[in-house]
Structure 1
């Protein structure tokens, strides 16, 4: 029988590359790269390396393993937004079961989220608990390392609570002699802890780092995380009584990050496509997971890459990404009007003309020039041949995140090294606009924030809208601006609009090339989707419930 204490230890065990606790066996054989945990916290250089290892535990959208958290080969196949109305995934993805309404405690991405974040939390707890005893005269470095670890722990908890609601707050390095069956804290208790940690970490973190240290937690990252957590706390899912104070607090927190811009630290990158590839000098990025060729790459460029049957561009990629017509319809016309507006000038038989520039910088469609090739998504075209198992299923492919410099299959297969951006300044502007609009209506600061973002894409400024109208435009702006960055998965849930957006058919664009070479465009239903109200939070993974029965009650 597994003991009470052993169950939680199994759930929380981790191994790091630089710190491994073990007892001598009879042969007293150690691997050549062995460094004891005692040695790690007797040398500030090794302690700094331990912190780097904590960063490496961050789970990014480029690394999710839809076939199971232990199936490394599948990393890069799945974005959470594939379970939304924005994307259709590869035919064989287990994530497709969620689209069909089968979301249960065996959901592999949920298990991976739980496991990876608690691995990070355990490492951070070890570092936070021992850093004060590390001998060094560089007290500023020790203070910063501790603040970074506190931020990373808070970030991991923020990821957990937006997925699962209240979770166990484990704040100390656990020993086998401890009571390891830890019950769930309330969502509010978790929010209070995270925001307090963000405030205190921010006080000890710098605004920026030298180029060699890009990717470390900054003061702005801590404040931006606080703003995001407070926005979720104010949202309908977690604020059923619509306590306006929560919206005001969220707006104030976002404004604190916007004020940093005035000191020269944050701004929007001038090019929407390039912002996801530009590393040095990119003032829009607030916090990201770093990748770099050749040692640290991701397979998104291969797994999600559109397969085009052309000798000059990659064919045979997995082609696991297919944007829906539902999303395409959300992109405005260049004149700022939605295509549903009869005065917008939208032509259903020339549907890609005069659209928001973010459309062409995010998606590939019929007529797009991609890696020097004109893409054909019409029936029989080079991206829609009947013999190609990975042909486009909806008429669209992914451009955002896909580096067009990598032309050959071999180059793409080596992996992408663009960073996964967790938080960027555009999100801060959207967070402010939403929370301020909910707190006080669309005052001048709301219009200023949303229009600052729209200017980058040359979209006309919004004006003269009431609170309800502005709410809808902000939500649409989030959908378009933050597409595929795993916000849609959570946004619709926190707005409690899953039955509106996720419980309807997703659509595709069917294009037929006529005998006279003209094209006929027809929007068709691709598949029905199923969503249930209890899907607003993910179920606790079954394997964790079996290890710790205290997880079952929801204290919220």
Structure 2
């Protein structure tokens, strides 16, 4: 059963008190932790609490990466929507709830990881199984790196905290250079990759815990992101040219034999085929429990009236967040990913909606009675991604491979999508366009554009073509990252400086 992520919530143990807002989201010592950790199970509950901080990760990628990109044209539909300023590049989004959530939720995850790591250091001798102790440390360090990487990609510089600190200490910690944050991320992921088990080692009840290959995949993506352009801002790219390091790690994942390329695109996302051979790492959910432990991301990009037109209950109260015309036109005839991922038009109360939206994660036969309790996992890394990331490294000159290998991988992906005409001499731009359709509505598009350096050309061109309502602001390179939330700026004026162009 898929219990591990949220089982901690059902225990009734008040181990981690809710962090207060603002800078107090940084780790603050809690006296209850000093007496809680006594048995193996106590430490397992502790790591489950760290996993719990992943719960909102899928929604965040859809709201801040997918919506930011040229995949959606999410401008005003007559009301004020939180996603509108994200998609339209408004300068004044430092108080946007999606931006605030990304900062606070990731720091909460880091806080929980630091608590567990401190207790492993202080009381780890109480764990009867040395292998379990090492694995728990590796899981916590993977998750801490995961949350920090999410912060760096969205905000650039962030406060660097690798231990438990008190509230008054938190108020003295500035944002650290991105390179320093990356040093911690890399050290954590190297430890995780060396000490986490392979996927088959976990018992059925533990499926979904991170593995050594999830750590290697994430570390590869870290090296690739560092290798991206700087845009002359303090963002995620350092122009570090570490494509070969990334390629080597991805090759390890490919050669492990633990994953395989699915013959069916649709089957990768089936509710009855979770934990399939494509999945390298996912966020696990389970429905039907109290408190609620299901997902909310399936309806994030879906208008309520479509659910209602199909006789289903209201979900998030959302209006349509349309797929851009440019995205729709990017699909070739016969591409079966389009119909699976996108709903084109519907009728509700005799009103015809002609715009399209992403419905990739919705199975209308699986709609839960509670809109917060969808029973589907979110795939963070899948094997197809590993193959295409490897191809990207090859295009950047990683040794040991040839551009023909890139063509082979891209054609393999296209053939699964029903496209019979092969392509050749694939360029970086073409690879990113193929990734766009393969990972549509999976929250990768904005990150791909920033990492590849294409964001400064593709986004302005898209705005010129698709902004028929004239509501998107001109794109400037500082928008490669988001602003620091205003409440963080206000808690101690002068501690943080705002990102450029905001």
Q: Is the 8 A contact 2:141 2:192 kept in 1?
A: yes
Q: Is the 8 A contact 2:323 2:358 kept in 1?
A: yes
Q: 1:184 to 1:300 in 2, by over 3 A?
A: closer
Q: Is the 8 A contact 1:324 1:506 kept in 2?
A: no
Task: Indicate whether 1:474 and 2:431 are aligned.
Answer: yes
Q: Is the 8 A contact 1:61 1:485 kept in 2?
A: no
Matching residue of 2:130: 139
Matched residues in 2 for 1:326 and 1:224: separation? 30
Q: CA deviation at 1:144?
A: 0.5
Matching residue of 1:546: 490
Q: Is the 8 A contact 1:301 1:413 kept in 2?
A: no
Equivalences for residues 217-296 of structure 1 within 5 A: 217-237=210-230, 245-260=241-256, 263=257, 265-276=258-269, 277-295=271-289, 296=293
Q: CA deviation at 1:461?
A: 6.7
Q: 1:175 to 1:413 in 2, by over 3 A?
A: closer
Matched residues in 2 for 1:305 and 1:299: separation? 11
Q: 1:435 to 1:356 in 2, by over 3 A?
A: same
TM superposition score normalised by structure 2: 0.81
Matching residue of 1:330: 330
Q: 1:115 to 1:136 in 2, by over 3 A?
A: same
Q: Is the 8 A contact 2:82 2:98 kept in 1?
A: no
Matched residues in 2 for 1:310 and 1:545: separation? 41
Matched residues in 2 for 1:244 and 1:176: separation? 35
Give 1 or 2 for the bigger CA radius of gyration. Answer: 1
Matching residue of 2:295: 298
Instruction: Identify unmatched segments of 5+ residues in structure 1.
Output: 1-5, 15-19, 23-35, 65-75, 334-354, 366-376, 509-523
Q: CA deviation at 1:462?
A: 4.3
Task: Indicate whether 1:120 and 2:109 are aligned.
Answer: yes
Matched residues in 2 for 1:300 and 1:309: separation? 14
Matching residue of 2:335: 356
Q: CA deviation at 1:62?
A: 4.3
Q: Is the 8 A contact 2:37 2:119 kept in 1?
A: yes
Q: Is the 8 A contact 1:184 1:554 kept in 2?
A: no
Task: Indicate whether 1:85 and 2:70 are aligned.
Answer: yes
Q: Is the 8 A contact 2:483 2:499 kept in 1?
A: no
Q: CA deviation at 1:107?
A: 3.0
Q: Is the 8 A contact 1:117 1:157 kept in 2?
A: yes
Matched residues in 1 for 2:336 and 2:113: separation? 42
Matched residues in 2 for 1:529 and 1:401: separation? 28
Q: Is the 8 A contact 1:429 1:453 kept in 2?
A: no
Q: CA deviation at 1:415?
A: 3.8
Matched residues in 2 for 1:313 and 1:112: separation? 32
Task: Indicate whether 1:491 and 2:448 are aligned.
Answer: yes
CA offset digits 1:38-75 (Å, max 9, x no partner)? 232222211110110110012535444xxxxxxxxxxx
Matching residue of 2:49: 53
Paired residue for 1:198, among 167, 185, 189?
Answer: 189
Mean CA deviation greater in 44-53 or 170-179: 170-179
Matching residue of 1:10: 24
Q: Is the 8 A contact 1:61 1:486 kept in 2?
A: no
Q: 1:41 to 1:187 in 2, by over 3 A?
A: same
Q: Is the 8 A contact 1:13 1:119 kept in 2?
A: yes
Matched residues in 2 for 1:54 and 1:173: separation? 14
Matching residue of 1:174: 165
CA offset digits 1:156-179 (Å, max 9, x no partner)? 111011111132221111135747
Q: CA deviation at 1:301?
A: 4.3
Q: 1:454 to 1:291 in 2, by over 3 A?
A: same
Matching residue of 1:448: 408
Instruction: Identify unmatched segments of 5+ residues in structure 2.
Output: 1-19
Aligned residues: 458
